[in-house]
Chain A
Amino acid sequence: MRGTFKIVIDAKWCKGCGLCLAECPKDVLQWSGARSAKGYNVPVQDETKVCTGCRLCELICPDQAIRVEGERQ
């Protein structure tokens, strides 16, 4: 069974590089269009997509801005 995962992206650290978007096999991450205080376009979780909790986005994020909450069951 899959768990339910929440992807928290910390706008304080995100530099809007897009690696997480490219990395996610399920296209869960999308550009939010909103600029962070530092002027970067920060991604958000697309709730219509299903996150499998693989944590590839968390691993690839160079700025350690991503936290995947929830446990795989």
Chain B
Amino acid sequence: MNEIAEKYLRQEALPMIFCPGCGDGTVLGAFLRAVDELKIGDQLALVGGIGCSGWMPVYVNVDTIHTLHGRAIPVAVGLKATRPDRKVVVFTGDGDAIGIGGNHFIHAARRNVDLTVIMINNAIYGMTGGQAAPTTPSGATTQTTPYGNPEDPFDACKLAEAAGATYVARWTAGHPRQLIKAFKEAIQHPGFAFIEVMTQCPVQAGRYIKGGLDAPEFLADIRKSVVTEAQAATMPPEELAGRTRIGLLHRSERPELTQRLAALNRGEKR
């Protein structure tokens, strides 16, 4: 085990539940490195939803709450409102964040409450065994779309931006260095920061959507499907078609909720 993991993981909670080759562990590793570089361990309050991804913060040896399916964000709002100086980070899945928890997600973005929300997009419900998620591509077969998914997926980043998020980025589990930087930016960003991480789920999505790709093949496949702004600028349109944009997608400034609440406490505007 490497030094960062030794320093930050809750050893008595190991091993992590993730399947071999699951991207969740890589993303968690990037998060630990971001925390280490920021030196903010004591200020952290971590919140997990339910799903494979919801387990990520449970392994970090700081104050952590593992909540109900879809409800990580409102719990995080309660934590943040009671002590705005804490750095609250939510780990959530695509189903957790924009399926069952979609209403909380858009409203937290609208409020611009200072949270960092890390959403693992594996395009599937991993924990429950490979059913369709609101991110599952159209036509994909899963345990609940045996004839191909008759629905279209959400673009979570567009949803976040439209709802009012003030930091929006998308990376993949194959971009750990970029993730470390993005996590640092998001944690320091004074507002609702959203990071979607496209992640290989070799066991469920790999089997049902990708027809049996193993972890390295699956990650290579994800990398092939994405494009940065710089790459897009030089790419012919036919090559660009169907690729997902990654990188920092949106950044803006707007008054943050708990700062506004603190102004009420001080008697301003009352």
A residues within 8 Å of B by Cβ? 10, 12-13, 15-19, 21-23, 40, 56, 58-68
Contacts and interface: CB of A to CB of B under 8 A. Distances in A.
Given A16-B20, A18-B215, A62 B2 contact: no
Given A63-B18, A64-B4, 14 more contacts: A15-B21, A17-B214, A17-B215, A18-B21, A18-B214, A19-B21, A19-B215, A59-B33, A60-B176, A62-B16, A62-B21, A62-B29, A64-B2, A66-B2
A63 B23 CA distance: 10
Nearest to A40: B20
B216 A19 contact: yes
A19 B21 CA distance: 7
**What's the interface size class on B, roughly?**
20 to 34
A13 B21 CA distance: 12
Contacts of B19: 15
B220 A63 contact: no
B176 A22 contact: no
B42 interface: no
B216 A62 contact: no
B175 to A, nearest CB: 10
Given A22-B219, A67-B1, A62 B9 contact: no
B22 interface: yes
